[in-house]
């Protein structure tokens, strides 16, 4: 289980966009099968590039993922608080993104 990255953030607000790290990739890996099910695609490449977080009653993650060449997807993932099991859930996926598209909250 990972702890949310709380540096330079206020509850309810989104952090600035940061470079992805091992923890961000781990989160992506945990929801990969859900992403592939939602997009109906199997990704050979699946590499977290950038992320933003928002602390609420848990943590929301927006993650830019490279899925091959110039193709990117944006993921919205929720991580529950440890006292509620700390589970990770995919709350949205946007396809047809580019390296330059900003990470913005996904509206469903």
In a domain, 6, yes or no: no
Alpha carbon distance 25, 80 (integer Å): 18
Residue 67's domain comprises 18-97
Is 93 a domain residue? yes
Q: Is residue 107 part of a domain?
A: no
| Tokens linked to 2 | 């990972």
State percent of the chain over pLDDT 90: 83
Tokens (6 digits) for 50 = 């950038």
pLDDT of the residue at 4: 47
User: Does residue 92 lie within any of the structural domains?
Assistant: yes
Residue 75 lies in a domain: yes
Tens of pLDDT, residues 27-48:
999 999 999 999 999 999 999 9
The model carries a pTM of 0.87
- Rounded CA gap, 106 and 1, in Å? 24
As given in the structure block, the two tokens for residue 76 are: 């919205």
Question: What's the total number of domains in the chain?
Answer: 1
CA–CA distance, 34 with 39 (Å, rounded to integer): 9
């Amino acid at each position: 289980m990972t702890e949310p990255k709380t540096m330079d953030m206020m509850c309810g607000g989104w952090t600035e966009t940061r470079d992805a790290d091992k923890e961000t990739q781990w989160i992506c890996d945990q929801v990969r099968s859900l992403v592939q099910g939602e997009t109906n695609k199997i990704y050979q490449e699946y590499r977290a590039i950038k992320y933003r977080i928002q602390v609420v009653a848990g943590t929301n993650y927006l993650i830019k993922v490279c899925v091959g060449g110039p193709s990117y997807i944006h993921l919205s993932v929720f991580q529950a608080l440890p006292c509620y099991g700390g589970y990770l859930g995919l709350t949205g996926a946007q396809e047809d993104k580019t390296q330059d598209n900003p990470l913005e909250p996904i509206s469903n």
